Amino acid sequence: MADRYEGVPHRLLRTPVRDIASGSVGVLMAVLRQNVSDTGIEHWAELAYIRLPSGLEISTSVDNVEAV
């Protein structure tokens, strides 16, 4: 099996963004292409990691990220 994580460049890295799904606003810290499978059959998804003002980081689909 390949590595479970792979960094992905994104134009909004280190800028303020909103997670459309939750309405949370923070700074986009990373976008990772992750193997989210636990069955042995690879299933990859791109997840965005957003740091909220509290310091907590949340993850969401990269498709849910918009600039603020």
pLDDT tens track for 18-68: 999 999 999 999 999 998 888 889 888 999 999 999 999 999 999 999 999
Task: Please report the pLDDT score of residue 1 as a whole number.
Answer: 45
Q: Is 59 exposed, middle or buried (0-12, 13-18, 19+ CB in 10 A)?
A: middle
Q: What is the pTM of this model?
A: 0.86
CATH number, domain of 21, equals 2.30.30
When divided into structural domains, the chain yields a total of: 1
Q: DSSP for the chain?
A: ---SEEE---TTTTSEEEETTT--EEEEEEEEEEE--SSSS--EEEEEEEE-TTS-EEEEEGGGEEE-
Range of the domain at 34: 5-67
User: What's the pLDDT band for 2 if we cut at 50, 70, 90?
Assistant: low
Q: What is the average pLDDT across 1-24?
A: 89
What pLDDT is recorded for position 60? 96
Strand partners for 17: 26, 67
The whole-angstrom separation of Cα 42 and Cα 55 is 31
